[in-house]
Structure 1
């Protein structure tokens, strides 16, 4: 095959993708003073940064065509928290146009719950933190929930607790790192003194993610926070912080040894609140590689209320899971650590640890308050995702009864010597809490929402709530002839639809499953809505056909890629829906709706480039980078296809793959290509959206060509500084819509003067948008607040 590569004209420094990566992560790799084994650490203090706001055009956009956050790569300066705050302010300054967003569902599934707090003063009352979904309140023992968090606040909440005086403390930003998908960061700690009706921002705005919050049971003004930091970017507030001066000032009491380490877990002795356990976690990622362990990880204890700390690493013997034999000592293999104290015997301390790539490293038990630990049973179930969990919970009335987070909920009744699975709830456990008001009642939060057991978590005793509208949607599809027929791929909840094989939608809040795993791309055939598709992680895809009251399921045929990303794109040809395109590291084409495929791009790394060494993941997510991430066939020319990759490469073929033209370098950013939209009336008119989120770059990047890629212009204009996740184009009205991490915006006639679409959409990332066939409605799939709809501006 012949390759046509036009002359490259770089707007950014011509240092290539690998150079940009090294530049982006340089701030994450400097080394501070190392911890010594049993050294006592003194308290530190926090600093703040100032911001010089760039000038603006009359329309409110940045003075340069590219978003000012790209200064990170042209001036060598990191994106600062103040710049991100400015992006939020810019987003809010774009006043919404007419119309109000309405929740569409689903409400019956539930999404990832990162934390929960039971209210001891009010029966059947609890609060939960939903990843990307804010804080929710239930007054009926977890059956139904109502929002207890402002829509305008960032919706990503990673930690939640209630103090002895009833004050709620919430930490924004999720400390659970991503595997194949994404987690999002926040803007510090909030508190509410009226049951979640009102919230006040309470500092630590540069913590990025909060792993845990604990409150002194004897002094509600003393609060400890585990600040985890930013996986891919800089965050100045990392480590363990204590609130002092009667609730006014945060003090860094356990600093971190380097810029990739943060706090992730805390436990406070209920009988002696001066004794606190804390864990630090050294972890980072870029577009392709995840290093979820390092020398900064460790377990610590303070016996004087956080003034000084001692590293705990005295392990007697070696756990069978610990391949290195290094236990809890500082080591490159030490990953996430969880710690829990038995309320009935505070000298009983449990610890769970994983290694850099997520395998169990060890489960340990102490009966002397942490002075020494002994290896015990295998708490995990060999899931390989310990970075996703790292939590233990002890029964408040029985020190030998405890749970461990894993894919399945792991239970021990003999102090951790042996373990079994408590079956029934959804997978991926994140939080357990017993109800002090009801004997044997325990609540569980996981990737499927909230569950309750009234028999101490006995297997198959878990009851799922009925109204939990905080799902995380990756993708969305709507039938071109029926705006009530929708499908969505949900994080760890498979693919769901609004109809069944025998019935049309009746209640759009009640969706039903038609595919498992992590739901990703979903597609409905525009010529026949009884034919539809779904994919789970890594491109495991199925075609479904409804007929005569039953559904026939046909798995996709053999494809030819050696690497496939988690969110592998599946696209139908807009002029012939029998033609299906699938992207891995090569482009496959099917003419029989996915039954068989033919490779139409050159073999190997032609389109994507090889995996750079610094992006190569040796763990369980290896082979998922340097792949195709966006495919867009032209409607007016079935031989023309545009393709983008996670390595920032952009291509076009006009002869169905016989030859390819590359646009990388024509002033375009070297960033993950999220979305490509080809004008349905003109194959030379194309929009492309990029994201640098995994590299710590939050710049908005939307580019347009009107001459088939010979020249490009940045049309980001006054968009807020946030990655653009998806584009949708209404050609008859020449109106472009952009789904971003700060909401949905639209631009008419290419004027670069973006407006916010409607009011009332919660402030959570929007990962997909779809326009109905009648062009009257736009649907938005949010990553934490389910699916919403709004009437489109009719101009």
Structure 2
């Protein structure tokens, strides 16, 4: 709730891959949400707070640490530190000292005798197959100068030198005591522990790790994990905590569930165990786990896992107050979408509260009742996380389907989406329209559970094996669907789930492709150039192997096309140009060369990442009339080039009208060159894929070889450029908008060595620009965001 709104009706909210939003009146169902900072360098919002001594100062943390682990699915977001506003959220800047913080779990600001002390929980995590370690370390970081400098204040984990406790939760009581609930680190150490301090300084912490020991000695669920702490605003001596424990699944990853709830009546000096709602109340506590106390009643508390529960007697007994399954019958007073993440009470109220979940924002004005009434407040809050999308093949049609995280498969018919548009449940996976018979479309949920629809009606179900969101493609000519059949553990190795006879007479079988690979197929691509009556596939693997499969419909014949310099990484897409000789392969890991091109059917490969930032690339799309024009779906929106076939390829961001949001899939309707972009955080978008429309000339410079830094970025009024050059030539700085118009150009005198220049950009309107710095011999082009 915005502290600068005297009525406390304005609410701020963050999507973990969808950016920062606000609503001017959460109580008015006609007021929509407004996004802020569409072109920040990072939209993975994890937490929001403000300075109690100056409520114009806001802080936003990035990076979803709770899901940043090896698990059955990948739906997280790597962070980029902390963003700050000093004018109540009007403008924002990234705090430079925090860019090494990969995941921010929580931020709290405490008034310490008139000084605003910021506390930030910093964690490391796993994302896209790589460990991303925060620098200089995990821990609780304290700043008393607005985030300019930081000090890590937590102790090392007992028994593990050089490993710092990782905060999962920060709670400041009404009398100022700071509580930290921990989570397990990358080595599974240090979870299920509470630390508290009155000063917040290094060496001042009391450690309560009884439940770390209890869980460690549990024969089955024996990994001490996430801990939440909730204090009673009306009584600082009353504090509650809940603990999760983890266990190794048969699939080889750790799952975590809620295990214990405890209470202290003396400010954390001693604790008593309370009852939990039931054994299955929080089955995925790594993802959904929240605890909150009524502001005026210290005996009333709420906990959330999949659903919400309430106790009016300090946890002696619980009432089940929400029901996610009501989504399948149109909602109701108890409907709150599954998987609870946060609860915030309106300041001064015990009746009005906001609840956040995988389904967005829900409001109640009757939180004090035994069974509150909930209202969905998602108007305009477009943070849907799509894994996939499909576009009706008829030119001009506005019919789309898409599978998304924990919101099933939605059928878009030209009107704003709602839960009534869900045609398939669970987590929606790959989906397809039949190019020849548009009355047929196919949807799926996790692990290859497919459904065929004809004229909007269910006609058949099929599928088996695979991974959680298992890649697939559909041969619309032969009516055969091909999906990865290999599991997360490697069982069913080399196999594709081949389903022929769609829609009515389906033959569902697991077929060995003869690739001799032991890992899952990460991408499946059907070739439109398959000889009549046959299916040619291109298959990519999680370890960077590429195969061409001929006669996949009958007796598969595999040929390996892996490039000699391909990274051992996840092939995310195989795009086919005007023939099977022209292929683009992308990888979705950090720290690898992520775009490759062949023009001779895989005999030779050329690396084409060039000026792209180090981000996952998730999809590629050739223009149907120009092999040199390629569109990429990336972790930060859309990038394009029309120089794919040239020796020097330059990529340009092309997310205008969208955002710097992760994009998982692109689908092209060739009848009118409409592209559907399935974003993982901002819903579905369409654009016309015209020839050369995205290319803007950027002087006569080549790809950069010098080290150029621009900061801050996003920028407001002024911008610093710093570079090291071995040239005595003058430096030319030019800025173009996304339509290619020059909006700034200046020549600066310089020489060899380090060059630093402060630029006045106050005349530039907020938006996305391309900034080019050149010395007459070479240059670099960077993305610039102006707030």
**TM-score, shorter chain, exceeding 0.5:** yes
Written as runs of structure 1 = structure 2, the 5 A alignment for 1:499-514 is 499=413, 505-506=414-415, 512-514=421-423
Change in CA separation of 1:296 and 1:378 when aligned onto 2, cut-off 3 Å: closer
What's the CA shift string for 1:270-293, capped at 9, x where partnerless?
Answer: 12x1x2111232233xxxxxx7x4
| CA contact 1:766–1:783 (8 Å) conserved in 2 | yes
Match of 2:746 in 1: none
Q: Residue 261 of structure 2 aligns with which residue?
A: 363
Cα displacement (A) at 1:780:
1.9
Q: Partner residue of 1:298?
A: 193
Q: Look up the SS of the partner of 2:65 in the other structure.
A: coil
Q: String of CA shifts for 1:577-632, please: whole Å, max 9, x gaps.
A: x22112221112222226533546428xx64744xxxxxxxxxxxxxxx3222111
Q: Deviations over 1:206-244 (max 9, x none)?
A: 111111111215646222111122332222142101121
Distance 1:588 1:342, change over 3 A: same
Tell me if the contact between 2:596 and 2:607 (Cα under 8 Å) persists in the aligned partners: yes
Q: Which residue of 2 aligns with 1:121?
A: 6
Matched, 1:350 2:350: no
8 A contact 2:352–2:364 mirrored in 1:
yes
Q: CA distance change for structure 1 residues 325 and 313 in 2, over 3 Å: closer, same or farther?
A: farther
- In structure 2, the CA distance between the partners of 1:682 and 1:162, relative to structure 1 (3 Å rule), is same
- Report whether the alignment pairs 1:687 with 2:596: no
C-alpha displacement at 1:788, in angstroms?
A: 2.4
CA distance in structure 1 between the aligned counterparts of 2:311 and 2:205, rounded to whole angstroms: 29
The corresponding residue for 2:506 is: 596
The secondary structure found in structure 2 opposite 1:359 is: strand
Partner of 1:92: none
For residue 318 of structure 1, report the CA deviation from its aligned partner: 9.8
Assess if the C-alpha contact under 8 Å between 2:538 and 2:546 holds in 1.
yes
1:251 match: 151
TM-score by length of 1: 0.74
RMSD: 2.9
2:367 to 456, 459, 462: 456
CA shift for structure 1 position 171: 0.7
1:152 Cα deviation after fit = 2.9
TM-score of the pair, normalised by structure 2: 0.75
Are 1:584 and 2:469 an aligned pair?
Answer: no
Query: 1:785 offset after TM fit, Å?
Result: 1.8
- Once the two structures are TM-superposed, the CA of residue 339 in structure 1 deviates from its matched residue by 0.9
Taking a change above 3 Å as real, the CA distance of residues 220 and 706 of structure 1, as seen in their structure-2 partners, is same
CA deviation vs aligned residue, 1:659-687 (integer Å, no higher than 9, x gap) = 322334633221112111223x4233322
1:188 to 81, 105, 118: 81
Provide Cα deviations, 1:678-710, integer angstroms capped at 9, x if missing partner: 23x423332221122xxxx34341222333333
Q: Taking structure 1 as reference, are residues 390 and 300 closer, same or farther at Cα in structure 2, changes over 3 Å only?
A: farther
Match of 2:401 in 1: 487
Partner of 2:462: 557
Once residues 182 and 350 of structure 2 are traced to their aligned partners in structure 1, the CA distance between those partners, rounded to angstroms, is: 34
The alpha carbon displacement at 1:388 in A equals 1.0
In structure 2, what is the Cα distance between the partners aligned to 1:159 and 1:316? 26
Shift of 1:123: 3.3
Cα distance change of structure 1 residues 124 and 381 upon mapping to structure 2, 3 Å threshold: farther
The 2-side partners of 1:767 and 1:220 are apart by 44
Which gives a bigger RCO, structure 1 or 2 (Cα 8 Å, sep 6+)? 1
- CA distance, structure 2, for counterparts of residue 184 and residue 200 of structure 1: 19
**Quick check: 2:436–2:477 contact (8 Å CA) kept in 1?**
no
* Distance in 1 of aligned mates of 2:600 and 2:19: 44
Deviation at 1:460, TM superposition (A): 5.8
Q: Which residue of 2 aligns with 1:262?
A: 166
Q: C-alpha distance in 1, partners of 2:591/2:385?
A: 21
Contact kept? 2:192, 2:212, Cα under 8 Å: no
Q: Which moved more, 1:247-256 or 1:488-497?
A: 247-256
Number of residue pairs aligned between Structure 1 and Structure 2: 631
Structure 1 counterpart SS, 2:259: strand
1:646 to 536, 542, 545: 542
* Partners of 2:14 and 2:46 within 8 A in 1: yes
Would you tell me which structure has more strand in proportion to its own residues?
A: 2
Deviation at 1:380, TM superposition (A): 5.9
- Indicate conservation of the 8 Å contact 1:778/1:791, yes or no: yes
Q: Which residue matches 2:558?
A: 660
Counterpart check, 1:385 vs 2:312: no
Q: Which runs of 5+ in 2 are unaligned?
A: 247-254, 323-334, 487-494, 693-787
Corresponding residue of 1:313: 208
Q: Does 1:716 align with 2:601?
A: no
For the residues of structure 2 that align with 1:589 and 1:366, how far apart are their CA atoms?
A: 57
